[in-house]
A and B are shown apart, each in its own frame.
Chain A
Amino acid sequence: MMVSCFSRIMKFRVLLIVCFLSVAFGALAYTPSTGDLNVADAATKTRLEGGKKLFKSNCASCHAVDKDLTGPALMNVWERWESEDKIIQWVKNNSSLRASGDAYANKIFNDWKGSVMTGFPSLTNENVIDIIDYVRAETANPGFLNAGATAPAVGAAVAPSGTSSNTMWWLIAALLAILAYGLSVISNKLKDVVDEKEGNFVADKRTALQKIFTPRVKSALKLFTILFLGAWLVKSAIGLGRLQGYQPTQPIKFSHQLHVGQNKIECQYCHSGVEKSRHAVIPSVSVCMNCHKYVQKGPKYGKTEIAKIYKHSGWDPEKGAFVNAPKPIEWVKVHNLPDHVYFNHSQHVKVGGIACQTCHGNIQEMEEVKQFSPLSMGWCINCHRQSEVQFANNDYYSIFEKYHDDIKSGKKAKVTVEDIGGTECQKCHY
């Protein structure tokens, strides 16, 4: 009787520890995305899907739903503004709204250190409302929200898995631990009472802690510690070599914010390989000289930085002629893919029609370039799962007859990159 009772209590304790640890693990574990909208009404669903797409292609490079990126988190944006109309005005042309003297618009502008949001005059009022509703749905439904956050366009949101939810998990774990301790004390007491009644009472000289940490519990703890550390090791190992946010100092303080954001120079003007080759191409110093023969002074650094271009190109601004042999500028590479990954810019930009900002972030606002996306395999794969192939407009895809039929018959809404083998190993590894 005593033996069986004891073992029952032991089992109970082990069970409690298992509970505690699995909850703790839960805090570490990756939460998979659901990917689908939990909206029953088909029309709303389509509208929200549209909003999601608009959000991804227009907003996601600067905004996330649940946290601040380059721009503020969009969660509850409808509560912050006095009316929907104001939001629409802001999205379409925020500078005119600010000029009109709108208090909140100016507050936001100042809060965000005067960084200018790109205007979206091409969006209709309905578009903006769809986006807001999508954000609303995201906020309401955490699963839905996760799907949005791990979307490729907002790659930044992938890496740090929500700190707030982690704390909650830890709290639950701690509560359960306390509960476990309390229950075990109670059950011990009860056992003592029963034993005393039956006359089997043997005084247990162990302290409360000793009673909990019996050899079996200890070995179980050891096992779980090892597993826990192992999981941690694997998790950190996966992160090795990932350099999201990497922002090295460049030999010349070239500002994308100035050239792209302000002067509106097309990306392809300098990165001329982006539609032809696997490399986007870092421009030769002679490309810089096309303009800087004439532009001899910058707004921020005056002549100092431009003088570096002259030095490398062998240009003498006084004489207005090339006098020395050119030397290359040794830029520091920001986006580094491992050697075993084949990535081709032209496939994504020319064929896929993907904007530079989707992967490189809000480059037109970067004074110095930093790595915006994690460039991890999961990030690539997620995008390949969700991105739609430009199926109808490109004759290359005419061979996929079945998919064309499926689209016609409505069996398939869209063909994703994954459908045509975009997640297979040898798409990128060979």
Chain B
Amino acid sequence: MTEIRYWKSLAELNETPEYKDEVAKEFREDIAGLDLVDEASKAASSGRRDFLKLMGFSVSAAAIATSCKTPVNKAVPYVFDGRDQIPEVVPGIADFFATTFFDGTSFVNLLAKTREGRPIKLEGNSLSPLTKGGTSARSQASILGLYDVSRLKGPTKGDKAISWDQADKEIGAKLNEIAAAGGKVAILSGTLASPSTKSAIEKFKSKYPNTSHIAYDANSLSAIRKANASSIGGSFIPSYDFSKAKVIVGFNCDFLGTWLSPVEFAGQYATNKVPTKEKPTMLRHHQFQSTMTITGAAADYRYPIKPSEEKLALIALYNAVAAKVGGSGLSGAKAYSNKAAIDKIATELAGAKGSSLIVSGTNNVEIQALTNAINGILGNYGSTILGRAMNTKEGNDEDFAKFVSDLKAGAYSGLIIYGANPVYNTSSGNEVKEAISKLKLSVSFNERADETSSLAQYICPDSHYLESWNIYEPKSGYYSFSQPVINTIFDTRQAQQSLLNWAGEKISYHDFIKNQAAGWGNWESNLENGFVETASNAGISCNVGAALANVQAASGSANGMELFVYEKVSVGDGSLANNPLLQEMPDPISKTTWDNYINVSYSYAVENKLKLWLREAPIAKLTVGGKSIELPLMISFGQPKGTFSVALGYGRTKAGKVADNVGGNIYPLISNGVYSADGVKIELTGKFAKMGMNQQYSTLQEDNNLPGKPRRYRNGIIKEANLKQYQAKENAGNEDREEIKKHLQTMYSYHPYQGHHWGMSVDMNSCIGCGACVVACNVENNIPIVGRTEVYRGHEMHWMRIDRYFSGDPDNPDVSFQPMMCQHCDNAPCENVCPVNATNHSSEGLNQMAYNRCIGTRYCANNCPFKVRRFNWLDYQGNDSFGKWNDYDGATYMFEDLTRMVLNPDVNVRTRGVIEKCSMCVQRIQEGKLNAKKAGRPLQDGEIKTACQTSCPTHAIVFGDMNDGNSELHKSFFENERNYHLFEELHFQTSIGYKVKVRNKDEEPAFEFAPVMDEDNKEKV
């Protein structure tokens, strides 16, 4: 077993004094939180008096609170109209309804879990042939969007609330006025992917024929359609099947996180990512990238490139492949620097003809044409690229550009905005802003008075998707339904209904879509399944010559530093930014919350002697073509030399309490549809930002570095091997386990576990670090959102985190993700130190936490080697009877009664001053056991699934009973040689197993000592 050096942060890599200092301490005492109690008392001269005052207050407050009368609780039963049948609603039992999440990028078939009529959680729909039960962080978090208090409460005219009747009357009159005058109306939307919505728009158009519908995407892929028009003879995006690909080459294509249909692709991708005894093979994945993404992290080989190099690399690859499989070469292009890599990839591709896939996420016709050409000569069309159109990106950049110029020229009299926000998410924001004010009629369907809607005369707010009927068509012939699972919370109306009303159609949108679905079989069973498929794949072929005709090999050059703009897995293009779950979800790579930032490469930091820091970042001014923005600098491993990268979706100004003024908006700095720029300059402002980052230093106790033994760098926590090693020996990378098992001894008696013994296995090969599990865990377990300041203090409450480790070259490191939650040790170090026995062991192997018993000594957190125990420093849920004294940041989000509707009634809401941690979804375990008991049958394997498990798009997590010899978990633990447990040599006997990460690399993993920054960099800022 090779020793590999893993690190988590810059400071850890360079072992700065500050880092050593931090690691030595258990809690950051300087920022422990007590300073929040009373800033004023800190400033006051006499500490003693303030102490007495505070104490006096506490005592009297406690006295008043306890002397209150016991409240009288009401039990109000459901009311059913005596004339109707009583519906099958049993309070206390959850109902599930199939529905669909689509945010303009990712599409997910979902089941909405409702309790007593209120949606509380979203689960993947395992029947779906597309997403196969997987979900994404965004779809998991979207439940909170329903209870977003920043949504409009009803239609408005200017700042005033009006009634729907008035709105319909006035808007109808204005539309007629415009029509009479021969004026034009534009409907501006994002990607709809909904045939029924489009039909509603058609109805509107038939009443007002002078209407045009323009769709654009904030993060556009319209170049794929344009390139395909000539390459495959159709202006559509084809379907991709990553499960059939043995070699995948990605160019700035985050297909596991943000590209086209990431949940579907991640599921396909993972099928060939896990080598087993029966099938010890894996796909080979190469990724060229201008910033590190989760797709890059999952790749076997990763090549950092500048955005301007992408075309050169593709031309080089095309030529190399063409030389091997036959085909005319392209000449005139500058040479791509990494010829060795291109040759290697070309050889592999040539060996996997018809079972490879080249994809690019760059919105550039030439680049897309090149990927088409390479796929074409490799014969991938018809096998990994299928002829069925994909509709998840429908925007057209040219249409939008024409719309903006027409709008400026005054060609439109009316504008209807539907889900689009051009003032925020395009670089034409100011032009649109000016033009809107001159329109005769401007209406927005957006759910909030956002940057664009607030300029419109009328806002007719659309309902949330969980309150709406709809049909989506993510793939042609695949119809996915959305059904309301709750009445509209506010006085909102579906946009489609508004369009139908204004078109003079006297039909409800529900009946309208029912009519549309008439030919698709039984309406109710379709609705129950959530989808219906009426077509299968169509043939497809590629005209390589026509594809190459798009490419001008010789053109293109870039100067100076280059900027790359990307989309984060969490907030995406910014439309979901007002969701605190997404804001607080750490970015999978940077582990930063509540911010975007300028990623700079490690080399850049060394060359420019950037100061190292742990949690505070220097703020720099980024200038692109005369426009500039101030953002914190982040030294990011894997960021290519000579480039910066910045995420979209931040810097909202009118999204709501959560997202406003979080991060900076990069859209105005780039051209529409072009997500890179050159000639970029940055200069330090001398200011510093406190970043809400976690995992900058030891979130896991360092490996057992015993005195006199060679230093270990988290070996044993992450174990890895390459595929060849695995094929030679199944326990490759895990060889030390045999020896460890020989020495296991304990002075405590073993727990007997008469019945169940719960455990969980996490496959580090299929885990892509997308964070869906983290958000699912948050929603399921009522985990509070704490806000940036608290994350900065190290007070984030997540029960589950995904530890991200780097190894190798800091400019192009390997990445390992390790989902980390309570390990439910059978010899738990936390249990022994609790003075009040608030945490103890159950007869089913769970490490239990009794919140009401906890007195908050935090000894357990101190003694936990995995650092998974979280302490409620403040009243994050607002359940303190003394009110909202800690109102700051976005943390008070849960203080709204409406938002609290999302809370899971089967899980406690914890109060200030207690420790909490992963319970392995004990509420689900209890429910599953009870169901089996009620039916009088043994519990089935797979009947109980934890929240993280159900959310995972790659099914990397398996939960089950170790005592059940036939369970999947039992097989994972006792029949899979890749299985290992953390700190097994210390005999914690953890109930969570991890499976050795196998990379499909030709080189064996090696110990590599990263270059250390010089002393100047190590100074504490």
Expressed in whole angstroms, the minimum distance between the Cβ of A26 and any Cβ of chain B is 27
On chain B, the residues within 8 Å of A286 by CB distance are 79-82, 86
Known: A331-B75, A425-B850. A322 touches B83 (CB 8 A): yes
On chain A, the residues within 8 Å of B935 by CB distance are 396
On chain B, the residues within 8 Å of A346 by CB distance are 930, 934
Structural contact, A351 and B76, CB atoms closer than 8 A: no
Quick one: which of B70, B82, B842 contacts A326, CB cutoff 8 A? B82
Expressed in whole angstroms, the minimum distance between the Cβ of B61 and any Cβ of chain A is 16
Structural contact, A273 and B90, CB atoms closer than 8 A: yes
Expressed in whole angstroms, the minimum distance between the Cβ of A306 and any Cβ of chain B is 14
Known: A400-B754, A430-B908. A425 touches B853 (CB 8 A): yes
Structural contact, A351 and B934, CB atoms closer than 8 A: yes
Q: Interface 1/0s, chain B 39-76, versus A by CB < 8 A?
A: 00000000000000000000000000010001011111
Selecting from A51-59, A164-172, A274-282, the interface stretch reads A274-282
Expressed in whole angstroms, the minimum distance between the Cβ of A371 and any Cβ of chain B is 11
State the CA gap A400–B939 with chains docked (Å): 12
Structural contact, A430 and B70, CB atoms closer than 8 A: no
Quick one: which of A314, A347, A421 contacts B933, CB cutoff 8 A? A347
Q: Interface 1/0s, chain B 909-920, versus A by CB < 8 A?
A: 100000000010
Known: A277-B91, A332-B72, A346-B930. A426 touches B82 (CB 8 A): no
Structural contact, B933 and A426, CB atoms closer than 8 A: no
Structural contact, B755 and A340, CB atoms closer than 8 A: no
Expressed in whole angstroms, the minimum distance between the Cβ of A5 and any Cβ of chain B is 46
Known: A329-B77, A421-B843, A424-B848. A430 touches B907 (CB 8 A): yes
Quick one: which of A248, A289, A394 contacts B72, CB cutoff 8 A? A248
Structural contact, B81 and A332, CB atoms closer than 8 A: no
Quick one: which of B83, B91, B842 contacts A424, CB cutoff 8 A? B842
Q: Interface 1/0s, chain A 95-134, versus B by CB < 8 A?
A: 0000000000000000000000000000000000000000
Quick one: which of A314, A393, A424 contacts B843, CB cutoff 8 A? A424
Structural contact, B929 and A328, CB atoms closer than 8 A: no
Quick one: which of A279, A393, A395 contacts B92, CB cutoff 8 A? A279
On chain A, the residues within 8 Å of B662 by CB distance are none
On chain A, the residues within 8 Å of B926 by CB distance are 342, 344, 426-427, 430
B923 within 8 A of A: yes
B78 within 8 A of A: yes
Q: Using a Cβ–Cβ cut-off of 8 Å, how many residues does chain A contribute to the interface with B?
A: 60
Quick one: which of B81, B851, B853, B923 contacts A322, CB cutoff 8 A? B81
Q: List the B residue with the shortest CB-CB distance to A315.
A: B82
A37 within 8 A of B: no
Q: Interface 1/0s, chain B 936-948, versus A by CB < 8 A?
A: 1111000000000
Structural contact, A426 and B938, CB atoms closer than 8 A: no
On chain A, the residues within 8 Å of B86 by CB distance are 284, 286-287
Known: A281-B77, A396-B936. A322 touches B82 (CB 8 A): yes
Q: List the B residue with the shortest CB-CB distance to A338.
A: B852
On chain B, the residues within 8 Å of A395 by CB distance are 936-938
Known: A276-B90, A347-B930. A340 touches B852 (CB 8 A): yes
Structural contact, A429 and B77, CB atoms closer than 8 A: no
Structural contact, B66 and A330, CB atoms closer than 8 A: no
On chain A, the residues within 8 Å of B81 by CB distance are 286, 314, 322, 325-326
On chain B, the residues within 8 Å of A141 by CB distance are none
A403 within 8 A of B: yes
Structural contact, A284 and B92, CB atoms closer than 8 A: no
On chain B, the residues within 8 Å of A325 by CB distance are 81
Quick one: which of A328, A399, A429 contacts B851, CB cutoff 8 A? A429
On chain A, the residues within 8 Å of B923 by CB distance are 342, 430
On chain B, the residues within 8 Å of A420 by CB distance are 754-755, 843
State the CA gap A340–B906 with chains docked (Å): 9
On chain A, the residues within 8 Å of B922 by CB distance are 426, 430
On chain B, the residues within 8 Å of A333 by CB distance are 72-75
Structural contact, A328 and B933, CB atoms closer than 8 A: no
On chain A, the residues within 8 Å of B964 by CB distance are 399
On chain B, the residues within 8 Å of A350 by CB distance are 934
On chain A, the residues within 8 Å of B70 by CB distance are 241, 243, 336
Quick one: which of A248, A289, A394, A401 contacts B936, CB cutoff 8 A? A394
Structural contact, A282 and B77, CB atoms closer than 8 A: yes
B963 within 8 A of A: yes
Structural contact, A399 and B76, CB atoms closer than 8 A: no
Q: Interface 1/0s, chain A 393-419, versus B by CB < 8 A?
A: 111101111110000000000000001
B840 within 8 A of A: yes
Known: A328-B78, A328-B79, A403-B754. A339 touches B93 (CB 8 A): no
State the CA gap A399–B684 with chains docked (Å): 66
Structural contact, B77 and A277, CB atoms closer than 8 A: no
Q: Interface 1/0s, chain A 144-182, versus B by CB < 8 A?
A: 000000000000000000000000000000000000000
State the CA gap A394–B79 with chains docked (Å): 36
B846 within 8 A of A: yes
B756 within 8 A of A: yes
Structural contact, A330 and B74, CB atoms closer than 8 A: yes
Structural contact, A426 and B756, CB atoms closer than 8 A: no
Structural contact, B840 and A393, CB atoms closer than 8 A: no
B932 within 8 A of A: yes
Structural contact, A273 and B851, CB atoms closer than 8 A: no
A283 within 8 A of B: yes
B811 within 8 A of A: no
A40 within 8 A of B: no
Expressed in whole angstroms, the minimum distance between the Cβ of A424 and any Cβ of chain B is 5
A8 within 8 A of B: no
B844 within 8 A of A: yes
Q: List the A residue with the shortest CB-CB distance to B937.
A: A395
On chain A, the residues within 8 Å of B66 by CB distance are 240
On chain B, the residues within 8 Å of A283 by CB distance are 77
Report A316-365 residues with CB < 8 Å from chain B CB: 322, 325-333, 336, 339-340, 342, 344, 346-347, 350-351
Structural contact, B842 and A426, CB atoms closer than 8 A: yes
On chain B, the residues within 8 Å of A77 by CB distance are none
Structural contact, A281 and B919, CB atoms closer than 8 A: no
Expressed in whole angstroms, the minimum distance between the Cβ of A143 and any Cβ of chain B is 28
Structural contact, A332 and B908, CB atoms closer than 8 A: no
Report A251-293 residues with CB < 8 Å from chain B CB: 272-273, 275-279, 281-287, 289
Task: Supply 8 A–B pairs (Cβ within 8 Å), ascending by A.
Answer: A273-B92, A286-B81, A328-B79, A333-B74, A340-B908, A396-B929, A424-B848, A430-B926
* Sample of 20 further A-B pairs with CB below 8 A, known A286-B79, A340-B852, A420-B755: A273-B90, A273-B91, A273-B92, A278-B92, A281-B92, A284-B79, A322-B82, A328-B79, A331-B77, A332-B74, A332-B75, A333-B74, A347-B930, A396-B929, A396-B937, A398-B938, A419-B754, A421-B842, A425-B848, A426-B926
Q: Which 4 A-B pairs have the closest CB atoms?
A: A277-B92, A421-B843, A425-B850, A333-B73
Binding site for B on A (CB under 8 A): 240-241, 243, 248, 272-273, 275-279, 281-287, 289, 313-315, 322, 325-333, 336, 339-340, 342, 344, 346-347, 350-351, 393-396, 398-403, 419-421, 424-427, 429-430
